[in-house]
Amino acid sequence: MHQVTTSPSSGGLALPVTDEALADRLQHRLLAVEEALAGHVVSRTPYVTAAASHLLAAGGKRFRPLLVLLAAEAGSRPDSPEVVDAACVVELTHVGSLYHDDVMDEADLRRGADSANARWDNLVAILTGDFLFAKSSELTAGLGPEAVRIQAETFARLVEGQILETVPPAEDEDPLQHYLEVVAGKTGSLIATSARYGARFGGATTEVEEALTAYGEIVGCAFQLSDDILDIASESGESGKTPGTDLREGVPTLPVLMARASQDPADARLHELLDGDLTDDARHAEALALLRRHPAMGEARDYVVARAHEAKQLLTALPAGPVREALEAFADVVAVRTA
């Protein structure tokens, strides 16, 4: 078997850590996580190793393992080996889900590289995702039965969110509530577990663990919802993605669903566009312009700001200091982010 190399994102940490000593510790431990991840995706078969390491080597922000490491700083043993293992568990789970996501979305690119389904095929991509889930479960078993239970519940929520995303809301169901459940499952669940694992295996109190779990769920969902706003509001190149990509593909997002819920007769043209084909450039541009001027954009921003504030309030369970400050700063960034 041979070792593979993964590539952490450049340009500093994915979380706003201003305390130099804390940032240095996190950078050092994140390198240990990178090294461990590279070993965990090695298979007896080079072909499987290449497929399993493909997206890890493409980089990524490593936000989830970093949150594990930061949450562990709220406990008495942040440098325990279990913290590194837990960080690997959440990242392997996340990356495994990306392989499946790309098959569902028929995506050609992921993290600037060919998606696994484009480079190989759907079967290889699906089975590689399964392989990563299996490696994640193997690691979790070493963390004890309670960690196995937490991981199983998290994985169930993540998959339920992925399934719900493919199913339209029932006739008597609020489409916005349906979408928020998708976001909570697909995104919030694993970020909540990242914070929970860090606190648990870093030796934090039960009160802190519960607070950080709730914080992770809320701020994780808010981060995805702020992405929704950026899809409409950002100009080309400002956020690193083409404006209106989700809109063009018919993907429901927070501001679009809020605009759809409007009963204002003046929104008739916007509703007509949203119900039609937005792959047409002219229709897409018109819908994007109408959405940018719509009150739903302000409503969506207010919702995300309120959720970020709610997340920050939970952090009163932590003592004042650089860890709490970093988590509060991240909630603030989520609330007003432009990239």
**What's the confidence (pLDDT) of residue 204?**
98
CA distance 67 to 90: 10
Per-residue pLDDT of 83-120, as tens digits, reads: 999 999 999 999 988 887 766 665 554 545 565 565 55
- Confidence band for 4, pLDDT divided at 50, 70 and 90: very low
16 and 66 Cβ atoms separated by less than 8 Å: no
**What's the confidence (pLDDT) of residue 105?**
60
Interior/surface letters 198-223, b for 16+ CB within 10 angstroms, e for the rest: bbbbbbbeeebbebbbbbbbbbbbbb
CA distance 314 to 33: 27
Per-residue pLDDT of 229-284, as tens digits, reads: 999 998 755 545 577 888 998 888 999 999 999 999 999 999 999 999 999 999 99
- 89-103, 233-247, 300-314, 316-330: least confidently modelled range: 233-247
Domain with CATH 1.10.600.10 in the chain: 20-204, 205-338
Burial bucket for residue 225 (CB in 10 Å: 0-12, 13-18, 19+):
buried
The arrangement of secondary structure in 20-204, i.e. its CATH architecture, is: Orthogonal Bundle (1.10)
Residue 3 has pLDDT above 50, yes or no: no
**What's the confidence (pLDDT) of residue 125?**
80
Residue 337 has pLDDT above 90, yes or no: no
Provide the CB-side half-sphere exposure for 161 (13 A, CA): 23
Which residue type occupies 189? S
Per-residue pLDDT of 219-242, as tens digits, reads: 999 999 999 999 999 875 554 557
Residue 8 has pLDDT above 60, yes or no: no
Residue 28 has pLDDT above 90, yes or no: yes
**Closest of 135, 149, 171, 163 to residue 42, by C-alpha:** 135
Which CATH code fits 205-338? 1.10.600.10
148 and 141 Cβ atoms separated by less than 8 Å: yes
- Confidence band for 12, pLDDT divided at 50, 70 and 90: confident
Per-residue pLDDT of 168-224, as tens digits, reads: 898 899 999 999 999 999 999 999 999 999 999 999 999 999 999 999 999 999 999
Q: What is the DSSP string of 231-272?
A: HHHPPTTTSSS-TTHHHHHT---HHHHHHHT---GGGHHHHH
**What's the confidence (pLDDT) of residue 113?**
59
**What's the confidence (pLDDT) of residue 68?**
97
**What's the confidence (pLDDT) of residue 241?**
59
**Closest of 100, 98, 337, 161 to residue 241, by C-alpha:** 337
**Closest of 56, 67, 189 to residue 131, by C-alpha:** 56
Per-residue pLDDT of 41-67, as tens digits, reads: 888 888 778 887 877 777 678 899 999
Quote the percentage of the chain above a pLDDT of 90: 68
**What's the confidence (pLDDT) of residue 2?**
39
Pairing of strands 113-114, 109-110: antiparallel
